Amino acid sequence: MQIIDPNPFVPANKNLPELTLKVIVLGLLLAALMAASNAYLGLKMGRTVSGSIPAAVISIAVLHWFRKRNILEHNIVQTAASAGECLAAGIIFTVPALLMLGLWSEFSYLDTLLIGLVGGGLGVLFSVPLRRAMLIDQKLPYPEGLAVAEILKASEQEAHKEKGAIYLVRGGIFAAVFTLFQTGLKVIGDGFTLWTNKLGVITGFGFGFSPVLLAAGYIVGIGVVSTIALGNVLTWQIGVPLLSWLTPDALLNDPAVEATDLYREQLRYISIGAITFGGLWSLITLYKPMIQAVKTSFRSLRQKSDAEIIRTEYDIPMPIVLGIIVFMMAPLFMVFMQNFNDSGLPVTPELMLITVGVCTVLAIILGFIASSVASYLVGLVGTTSLPISGIAIAAISFIAVLLMGILGTEVTFSNPEYAAHAAGIAIVFAAIICLCASLGGDNMQDLRAGFALGATPWKQQFILFLGVLAGAIIIAPVLNLLLNAYGIGDVLPREGMNPDKALVAPQATIMAAVAEGVFLGKLNGMMFAIGAAIAAVVCFIDYRLEKAGSNFRLPVLAFGLGMYLPMIMVMPLFLGGLLAYILQRNLSKSERPAAERRGILVAAGLIAGEALTGIVLAIPFSMSTQGENALSLNLPIPQNILIWLGFAAYLVIIGLIWVTVKKRKQI
Mean pLDDT estimate for the chain: 82
Kindly report, residue by residue over 153-206, the tens digit of the pLDDT. Answer: 766 655 445 456 688 788 889 999 999 999 888 899 888 888 888 877 888 899
Instruction: Give pLDDT, residue 95.
Output: 93
Kindly report, residue by residue over 19-28, the tens digit of the pLDDT. Answer: 999 999 999 9
**Residue partners of 200: CB distance under 8 A and separation at least 6:** 244, 245, 248, 251
Torsion of the alpha carbons at 597, 35, 508 and 203, rounded to the nearest 10: -40
User: Which of 76-90, 153-167, 233-247, 464-478: highest mean pLDDT?
Assistant: 464-478
The runs of H, that is alpha helices, within 132-251 are 143-157, 165-179, 211-220, 222-233, 240-246
Q: What percent of the chain is modeled with pLDDT above 70?
A: 85
> Where does the pLDDT of residue 461 fall: very low under 50, low under 70, confident under 90, or very high at 90 and above?
very high
Residue 304 in this model has a pLDDT that exceeds 50: no
Q: What percent of the chain is modeled with pLDDT above 90?
A: 24
Alpha-carbon distances, residue 244 vs 203, 249, 256, 271, 530 (angstroms): 9, 9, 12, 18, 17
Q: Looking at this protein, which amino acid is placed at residue 636?
A: P
Instruction: Give pLDDT, residue 82.
Output: 87
Q: Which residue has the higher pLDDT, 308 or 117?
A: 117
Instruction: Give pLDDT, residue 136.
Output: 67
Element (H or E) spanning 535, and its range?
helix 525-547
User: Which of 20, 140, 168, 249 lies closest to 609, judged by CA?
Assistant: 168
User: Which of 375, 289, 286 lies closest to 555, judged by CA?
Assistant: 286
Q: Which residue has the higher pLDDT, 413 or 29?
A: 29
Instruction: Give pLDDT, residue 238.
Output: 92
The average pLDDT across 320-348 equals 86
- At 567 the three-state DSSP class reads helix
Among 85-89, 345-349, 546-550, the minimum mean pLDDT is found in 345-349
Among 12-26, 272-286, 305-319, 634-648, the minimum mean pLDDT is found in 305-319
Residue 574 in this model has a pLDDT that exceeds 80: yes
User: Which of 412, 387, 416, 417 lies closest to 401, judged by CA?
Assistant: 412
**∠240-241-242 over CA atoms, to 5°?**
90
Among 32-41, 322-331, 376-385, the minimum mean pLDDT is found in 376-385
Among 244-258, 313-327, 530-544, the minimum mean pLDDT is found in 244-258
Instruction: Give pLDDT, residue 479.
Output: 94
CA–CA dist 83, 28 (Å, integer): 10
> Where does the pLDDT of residue 41 fall: very low under 50, low under 70, confident under 90, or very high at 90 and above?
confident
Among 141-155, 223-237, 650-664, the minimum mean pLDDT is found in 141-155
Kindly report, residue by residue over 364-415, the tens digit of the pLDDT. Answer: 988 888 887 777 767 755 565 566 776 787 788 888 888 888 877 665 556 6
User: Which of 34-38, 46-50, 75-79: highest mean pLDDT?
Assistant: 75-79
CA–CA dist 596, 602 (Å, integer): 10
**∠535-539-541 over CA atoms, to 5°?**
115
